[in-house]
Each structure stands twice: as C-alpha cells, then as structure tokens.
Amino acid sequence: MVIFVPPSPHQLINRAPSIGRCSLSSRRRYAFNAKPMPSSNDDLTNASGLKPDETRNLPDRKPSGPEEEGILAKLKELYSCKPQPSTYEMYTADAVFHDPVGIARGVNSIRAQFDALPKLFPRADISKFRLLENPPSLNKNLMLIDQDVAYFRDANASSPFKVVNSLLTLELNDVHQITHHTEEWDHKRETTADDGFFGTLNEQRKKITAGVTNVLMGKGGNGET
C-alpha cells in the first residue's frame, strides 16, 4: 500500500489521462494513473491468476536462494515504512507498481510513493509475512506473498490506525529484478472505497497534489524537481 503521489514536474508527460485533465494545461498528464482494480468479486482471479480463497490457502515456502532473500528483505523495508536508497535496486527502471489506490510507472515514481508513506504513517509493523508456494500452473518467475501490516498514525500509539492484509504478486525478470509489483487488499482485485483508511490515503494525495501544483506554477512548495 502506498500513498497516491503525483509525479514531480519532470515526470509529467503527454499521456491520455485516467483521472481527468490536469488543471495546469491540456498537454500535461500525470504518469500516475488513479483507477480502481476491476472487481472485488471473490469468484474472479487476482493478479496471481488464482481466486482469493486459493491464494489465502497456499502453503508457505522457503526462499529459493539469496536473490529471493534479498527481495524479501527489501520488501520488509518498504512495508515497515523504512525504505533505504538501496531498497529500490530490486526494481527494473521501468517497473510498474499497482495497488487499489493507483498505478506508479517507473522506479522513480514507485520510490516517490513509498518514500512519502512515513510522513503519513511514522510506524508500520509487519505482523505476518508469508512467502507462498506457487502451484504448478503458475509462472516460475512469480513471487507471491501474504502479509499483514499494521499502520500507525502515532508511532507511540497502543493500537494501529488500520491493519491491512494484502497479497503481493511480484513478476521477476531473468536477473531477479521486479518488473511488476501488484498489491491487492484481502487478496481481491479491488477493495471498496467506503473505508476510512482509503479516504485517509486520498486526503494525503490531495495535499501532495496541491504541493506539486504550486511548484509547477512557480509558487514554491516541497515538490521535487
């Protein structure tokens, strides 16, 4: 799960929008597309190609080698809100991240999302992290992970703001870098927007969007260039 963060000014490109026109110019489009995943129907397959109940019931497995161990360590850095510059080395330059909030294209856009997350949640505890065994029908270049992450708005709070269960589906290339990273809450292709947690993320998106708009219009702000 990441915050919906629009790209920095140099990441704006001419692209058909999925969230409507940018207010600054009809030629400027966000490279980060906010569109929901297709359906929350339990009978439909998730990104793994399996149904939610099927992925929830997959057995655990051990990492196949140091490459997978490295990816798992970096994922824990991301989802515990403690990303390091080296964390993003697991992605290809043109990797795609997709979760119920939107789509980030390119490693720089992915990094912007996860680097912004600690500003909203200063603490995140991973209470469950299971590397799942792939059924024979699935591509061997897929890694599947079932995780529970507790997000805290106050690092000293006794209880989390929200606990999110999700399925991570990772597509790897031949040198064990991630080309596609899909996160699906509750293993479903879409989670309803009628959720306070979802609303909190979208509120943060609006604030960051306003900051980038100020930078583009020469009004200052904290957006990156």
| Chain segment 70-98, per-residue pLDDT in tens | 999 999 999 999 999 999 999 999 999 88
Helix H segments across the chain?
52-56, 66-79, 107-120, 196-216
pLDDT band at 2 (very low <50, low <70, confident <90, very high): low
0.75 exceeded by pTM: no
Task: Give the domains, in start order, of the chain with CATH numbers.
Answer: 9-216 (3.10.450.50)
Residue 126 DSSP SS3 = strand
Q: Which residues contact 92 (CB under 8 A, 6 or more apart)?
A: 107, 173, 177, 178, 179
Neighbouring-strand partners of residue 168: 145, 183
- Answer for the pair 63, 145: CB distance below 8 angstroms, yes or no: no
User: What is the enclosing helix (H) or strand (E) of 12?
Assistant: none
Task: Choose between 107 and 15: higher pLDDT.
Answer: 107
Q: Which residue has the tokens 């057995």?
A: 59
Position 61 pLDDT exceeds 50: yes
* For range 180-201, the mean pLDDT: 74
Most confident of 4-8, 88-92, 196-200, 206-210: 88-92
Distance between CA 31 and CA 42 in Å, rounded?
Answer: 30
* Res 205: pLDDT: 56
* For range 40-63, the mean pLDDT: 91
Q: Which two tokens stand for residue 32?
A: 């980060």
Helical axes 107-120 vs 196-216, angle rounded to 10°: 120
Position 24 pLDDT exceeds 60: no
Q: Which two tokens stand for residue 200?
A: 């909190």
Q: Which residues contact 102 (CB under 8 A, 6 or more apart)?
A: 4, 32, 33, 34, 35
133-175 residue pLDDT tens:
999 999 989 999 999 999 999 999 999 999 999 999 999 999 9
* Res 195: pLDDT: 56
Burial of 92 (0-12, 13-18, 19+ CB in 10 A): middle
pLDDT band at 8 (very low <50, low <70, confident <90, very high): very low
